[in-house]
Chain A
Amino acid sequence: MRKLILLLFAIMPAIAFGQGFQVNLHGQKQIGMGHTGTGLLQDGASVLFNPGALAMLPQNYVQAGMSPLLFKSDFNPSGTTDQFRTKNKIATPFTAYGVWGPKDARWKIGLGVYTPYGGLTDWGQDWAGKYSLESLNLKAIYFQPTLSYRVTDFLSLGAGFVYNHGTVDLTRAIPVSNSSGQDGQAELKGNGHGFGWNAGAFFKTNVGLTIGLDYRSQVNTTVKNGDAIFKVPSSLQSSFPQPNTFTTTLPLPSTSSIGLGYKPSNKWTLAVDVNFTKWDVYKTLGFDYAKNTPTLQDTYSPRNYKNGWSYRAGAEYKATDKIFVRGGGGYVTTAVNDGYVTPEAPDANRYYLTAGLGYKVTKNLDLDVSFEYEHLDARTQTNIESQLSGTFKTNVYIPGLSLAYHW
């Protein structure tokens, strides 16, 4: 008669992808220049930066690049000297663009495949926040066919359709010890898809100034019937029925950008971009399990994100006919309100610095490399849901390389 009521063991998977999950690695030339490009005509990456600019591109492009990313976070629980660090795992954002149109035609078509959102965070199984998160691998791959039309010599417009294929793999510890004292574990693993669109406009002025406007819509990505795997002591397995599935929807937010490009001389190109990401659509995160028990309930966690801004600037210097040197930087405001910071992407205001180098291997082939350093401010927080209390600090290191063939 020892009445036992197993409490909710706080099975609240928390995919909290802040600005930290917005991956802005969309082209080596643009990375080198501090992620500017909305108001420039650089190469095929305009498919993403501004579909309106495609029709202005002087050539056709096929290009691909990769930016291996190392996300290094540190957590210091409040009142301790402990430091818990994420493991060295390398995420691999990539880009591939194709742009084609008949010579001297007013139109061009394009296709982009790129990874605008994602995250790879692995804190391991022995850190203070293991009941919030052990590891998360989240990827969104966008496929974007695009059409652009040059209305006049100084204005072109373009629009694209977006199909997103997303995958998520999240693990966290469950606070039930087995007979050897080890925690249980929840793993949520699945893939889903979503749709969206984008549009842009590009203006040329006669004083060397170019202006770009770009809008990329929200893409609601629904993961349906993903695997919900619970490893718990056998005496508790009936509370965590197996096999089980989950369904969730992640609203990947819309972004609006304005960019300016300016060529003060034929050696220099300068650019600034301002980018607005409408994170406030991310109000709650819900997980709907196919099989519920008194212990395993559907969960709804408040997120209450706020909109984020990023301010970007960059420059390119044409050192010789074949060599381009680039540099840039930016500042990004956090999307995550105080009290909502979680270890998935311990978001904070951040700045970044970039450098790049371009080399014309042949008349038709560009080799570009880039390097980016991102620093997220230390942020001391107590999460309102988990009460995980401490300071997060993150640095991100991103080298990158791309090849572009144009004709």
Chain B
Amino acid sequence: MKTYRSYLHIFLVTGLLGFGACKTSINTPAPSRGTADFSRYISVGNSLTAGYADGGLYLEGQLNSYPSIIAAQMQKVGGGTFTQPLFSTDQADGSGHLILTGFNADGTPKTQQVAATAVRDQITIPGFGNVVLFAKYTGDINNYGVPGIKLQQITYAPYGNLNGYFERLLPGNSPTNTTTYLDFVTAKPYTFFTDWLGNNDALLYATSGGAGDVLTDKAQFSQLYNYSIGQLTKSGQKGAVATIPDVTAVPYFNTVTVGAILAAVQKANPAAKALVINALNADGSHSPRVATAADLIVLTFPTSMIGQPVNTPVGPLPYGLTPYTPIDDKYVLDQGEVAMTQDYVNSYNATIKAAASAKGLAVFDAYAFLNNVKANGLVVDGVNLSSAYISGGIFSLDGVHLTPRGYAVVANEFIKAINKQYNASIPLANVSSYRGVKFP
């Protein structure tokens, strides 16, 4: 009996110890920085780099910017602290931004603008126009993303007076600034950079329907890009660059389609045969023609304008349905404009890849990646992501910039490119812990 008791005792104790204390673990190789040094990482770029989302720059977007996600992962391989020029929590809504408030009966979304909380002032710059100024940020900066900036503007000394997002980071007040963006970002030593500039050189033309902006000259783009990469790598710094997405890969141009508008018009007015737009001709002039599926309507087009009477020399005619009353150019990136934009983007991307190759930099081919997402979708951790507006999960409410989940996907693509180029093994971020669009 005594023997039995001691047996049982030993048995149960051993059993229960194993039971509670053992932790199942998978051995993972220690992550490595490879041949790169992430001790001070800076990010150079535009709105995408700043964490702009839902048509504005605001705190939650900043906190989920792709550079901040990359930096957090870099810290697992010896990366340094990464400081962003965040809006304060009192000014969390920043420049103001869109929120989704619900859906109409036909399934179309309703959005609402949240007011800005970080506006400091507004000034008028002669010969330029009004500039909204934001609460100044003082302190260290690793994320130099400036919404709206074009590559074309990075060596333009007065630019710090014209862009409120850049002005916010500078010590001086508009209109007294003279520091170029490129000088500003390279002023303090760094060991690694990401550079995603150049989108706005094509995108601002495209989002204005080819009417409110111009494409940056290809030769100028090439000259500035090579110069800026030369400056960024002047002390032997390593880095990663990204190509410019095809403008037609974003929901801003793919959500409101000619076919959908026409179908809605024909419901009320079966006689309507076609939409008419003011399209670009080969010689650069514009003239009315019937719209086709190859013409892209911008997301912000107020479709209620269609069919409204417009006064013309031949009397009142319905908007968008006759050659006398075509849809305004600013709402349409027509086929010719799409082709021209794509031609420029291809040229820019050739420049970017050549420059990266010459300096041995990592390349995240955002052009190829987003076109692939558009064509095939992307399944990550059990989530079906796509380029669709709202439901796709990647693009935010403005149809151009990304959701936190979209930025996490981008961060991982950068990390993969960096790992490959520099023989590193920066761990990937957990995409499923970042949200898509918020639903009410």
Chain A interface residues (CB < 8 Å from chain B): 1-10, 70, 72-83, 85, 88, 126, 128-132, 175-179, 181, 183, 232-236, 320, 322-323, 325, 355, 357, 359, 369, 371, 373, 378, 383, 386-388, 391, 393-395, 397, 399
10 A-B pairs with the lowest CB-CB distances in the bound complex, closest first: A1-B303, A131-B382, A386-B382, A233-B439, A177-B435, A387-B379, A74-B24, A79-B428, A371-B15, A76-B26
Chain B positions 1-35 with a Cβ under 8 Å from a chain A Cβ: 3-4, 7-8, 11-12, 14-16, 18-20, 22-26, 28, 31
With a 10 A CB-CB cut-off, give which of A1, A88, A177 has the most chain B CB atoms. Answer: A1
Cα distance, A1 to B255, chains bound together (Å) = 9
Is B95 interfacial (CB 8 A cutoff)? no
Pairwise interchain contact B382-A132, C-beta atoms closer than 8 A? yes
User: Smallest distance from the beta carbon of B304 to chain A beta carbons, Å?
Assistant: 8
Segment from B156-164, B344-352, B390-398 that makes contact with A:
B390-398
Specify which of B386, B427, B439 is in contact with A176 (CB 8 Å cutoff). Answer: B439
Cα distance, A75 to B432, chains bound together (Å) = 14
Q: Which residues of the other chain, A, contact B379 by a CB distance below 8 angstroms?
A: 10, 386-387
Pairwise interchain contact A126-B15, C-beta atoms closer than 8 A? no
User: Smallest distance from the beta carbon of A58 to chain B beta carbons, Å?
Assistant: 24
Specify which of A8, A10, A355, A369 is in contact with B382 (CB 8 Å cutoff). Answer: A10
Asked whether A72 and B24 contact (CB < 8 A) given A7-B384, A77-B430, A82-B427, the answer is: yes
Pairwise interchain contact B26-A233, C-beta atoms closer than 8 A? no
Q: Which residues of the other chain, A, contact B15 by a CB distance below 8 angstroms?
A: 371, 397, 399
Cα distance, A357 to B16, chains bound together (Å) = 15
Is B123 interfacial (CB 8 A cutoff)? no
User: Smallest distance from the beta carbon of A70 to chain B beta carbons, Å?
Assistant: 6
User: Smallest distance from the beta carbon of B275 to chain A beta carbons, Å?
Assistant: 12
Cα distance, A83 to B440, chains bound together (Å) = 32
Asked whether A369 and B439 contact (CB < 8 A) given A77-B430, A322-B4, the answer is: no
Cα distance, A72 to B438, chains bound together (Å) = 34
User: Smallest distance from the beta carbon of A38 to chain B beta carbons, Å?
Assistant: 26
Asked whether A2 and B24 contact (CB < 8 A) given A235-B439, A357-B8, the answer is: no
Cα distance, A110 to B144, chains bound together (Å) = 77
17 A-B pairs whose Cβ atoms sit less than 8 Å apart in the complex: A1-B256, A3-B255, A4-B108, A9-B384, A72-B22, A129-B382, A131-B381, A132-B382, A232-B439, A325-B7, A357-B8, A359-B8, A369-B8, A378-B26, A387-B381, A393-B25, A397-B22
User: Smallest distance from the beta carbon of A79 to chain B beta carbons, Å?
Assistant: 4
The number of A-B residue pairs with CB atoms under 8 Å apart is 176
User: Smallest distance from the beta carbon of B360 to chain A beta carbons, Å?
Assistant: 23
Closest to A183 in B: B435
Q: Which residues of the other chain, A, contact B438 by a CB distance below 8 angstroms?
A: 177-179, 181, 233
Cα distance, A394 to B23, chains bound together (Å) = 10
Chain B positions 415-440 with a Cβ under 8 Å from a chain A Cβ: 416, 427-433, 435-440
Pairwise interchain contact B380-A387, C-beta atoms closer than 8 A? yes
Segment from B99-107, B209-217, B277-285, B286-294 that makes contact with A:
B99-107
Pairwise interchain contact B76-A387, C-beta atoms closer than 8 A? no
Is B383 interfacial (CB 8 A cutoff)? yes
Q: Which residues of the other chain, A, contact B19 by a CB distance below 8 angstroms?
A: 70, 397, 399
Pairwise interchain contact A7-B102, C-beta atoms closer than 8 A? no
Pairwise interchain contact B391-A5, C-beta atoms closer than 8 A? yes
Q: Which residues of the other chain, A, contact B433 by a CB distance below 8 angstroms?
A: 126, 128
Is B261 interfacial (CB 8 A cutoff)? yes
Q: Which residues of the other chain, B, contact A75 by a CB distance below 8 angstroms?
A: 26
Q: Which residues of the other chain, B, contact A83 by a CB distance below 8 angstroms?
A: 25-26, 28
Pairwise interchain contact B391-A131, C-beta atoms closer than 8 A? no
Closest to A393 in B: B26
Q: Which residues of the other chain, B, contact A378 by a CB distance below 8 angstroms?
A: 26
Cα distance, A9 to B439, chains bound together (Å) = 14
Is B233 interfacial (CB 8 A cutoff)? no
Cα distance, A394 to B22, chains bound together (Å) = 11
User: Smallest distance from the beta carbon of A324 to chain B beta carbons, Å?
Assistant: 10
User: Smallest distance from the beta carbon of A56 to chain B beta carbons, Å?
Assistant: 29
Specify which of B3, B382, B388, B436 is in contact with A388 (CB 8 Å cutoff). Answer: B382
Pairwise interchain contact B381-A128, C-beta atoms closer than 8 A? yes
User: Smallest distance from the beta carbon of A78 to chain B beta carbons, Å?
Assistant: 8
Known interface pairs A4-B109, A4-B390, A9-B384; 7 further A-B residue pairs with C-beta atoms within 8 A, sorted by A's residue number: A78-B428, A83-B26, A369-B11, A369-B12, A391-B26, A395-B24, A397-B22
Pairwise interchain contact A393-B24, C-beta atoms closer than 8 A? yes
Cα distance, A1 to B428, chains bound together (Å) = 38
Closest to B299 in A: A2
Cα distance, A70 to B440, chains bound together (Å) = 39
User: Smallest distance from the beta carbon of A9 to chain B beta carbons, Å?
Assistant: 7
Pairwise interchain contact A7-B430, C-beta atoms closer than 8 A? no
Q: Which residues of the other chain, A, contact B87 by a CB distance below 8 angstroms?
A: none
Chain B positions 74-95 with a Cβ under 8 Å from a chain A Cβ: 76
User: Smallest distance from the beta carbon of B133 to chain A beta carbons, Å?
Assistant: 30
Is B389 interfacial (CB 8 A cutoff)? yes
Q: Which residues of the other chain, B, contact A81 by a CB distance below 8 angstroms?
A: 28, 31, 76, 427
Pairwise interchain contact B386-A7, C-beta atoms closer than 8 A? yes
Closest to B399 in A: A2
Closest to A233 in B: B439
Is B125 interfacial (CB 8 A cutoff)? no
Pairwise interchain contact B100-A235, C-beta atoms closer than 8 A? yes
Closest to A294 in B: B107
Chain B positions 353-409 with a Cβ under 8 Å from a chain A Cβ: 379-384, 386, 388-393
Q: Which residues of the other chain, B, contact A233 by a CB distance below 8 angstroms?
A: 438-440
Cα distance, A9 to B379, chains bound together (Å) = 11
Asked whether A1 and B16 contact (CB < 8 A) given A129-B382, A131-B383, A175-B436, the answer is: no
Is B339 interfacial (CB 8 A cutoff)? no
User: Smallest distance from the beta carbon of B31 to chain A beta carbons, Å?
Assistant: 6
Q: Which residues of the other chain, B, contact A394 by a CB distance below 8 angstroms?
A: 24
Pairwise interchain contact B439-A236, C-beta atoms closer than 8 A? yes
Pairwise interchain contact B109-A357, C-beta atoms closer than 8 A? no
Pairwise interchain contact B427-A79, C-beta atoms closer than 8 A? yes
User: Smallest distance from the beta carbon of A346 to chain B beta carbons, Å?
Assistant: 11
Q: Which residues of the other chain, B, contact A128 by a CB distance below 8 angstroms?
A: 381, 430-433
Q: Which residues of the other chain, B, contact A130 by a CB distance below 8 angstroms?
A: 382, 432
Cα distance, A383 to B23, chains bound together (Å) = 25
User: Smallest distance from the beta carbon of A376 to chain B beta carbons, Å?
Assistant: 9
Cα distance, A129 to B430, chains bound together (Å) = 10
With a 10 A CB-CB cut-off, give which of A10, A177, A178, A359 has the most chain B CB atoms. Answer: A177
Closest to A73 in B: B24
Cα distance, A82 to B412, chains bound together (Å) = 14
Cα distance, A310 to B11, chains bound together (Å) = 26
Is B257 interfacial (CB 8 A cutoff)? yes
Asked whether A4 and B427 contact (CB < 8 A) given A178-B439, A322-B4, the answer is: no
Closest to A90 in B: B19
Pairwise interchain contact B391-A4, C-beta atoms closer than 8 A? yes
Pairwise interchain contact A1-B260, C-beta atoms closer than 8 A? yes
Pairwise interchain contact B388-A7, C-beta atoms closer than 8 A? yes
Specify which of A6, A74, A183 is in contact with B26 (CB 8 Å cutoff). Answer: A74
User: Smallest distance from the beta carbon of A269 to chain B beta carbons, Å?
Assistant: 18
Q: Which residues of the other chain, A, contact B8 by a CB distance below 8 angstroms?
A: 357, 359, 369
Chain B positions 228-253 with a Cβ under 8 Å from a chain A Cβ: none
User: Smallest distance from the beta carbon of A285 to chain B beta carbons, Å?
Assistant: 15
With a 10 A CB-CB cut-off, give which of B4, B7, B390, B427 has the most chain A CB atoms. Answer: B4
Pairwise interchain contact B439-A177, C-beta atoms closer than 8 A? yes
Q: Which residues of the other chain, B, contact A73 by a CB distance below 8 angstroms?
A: 24
Pairwise interchain contact B28-A357, C-beta atoms closer than 8 A? no
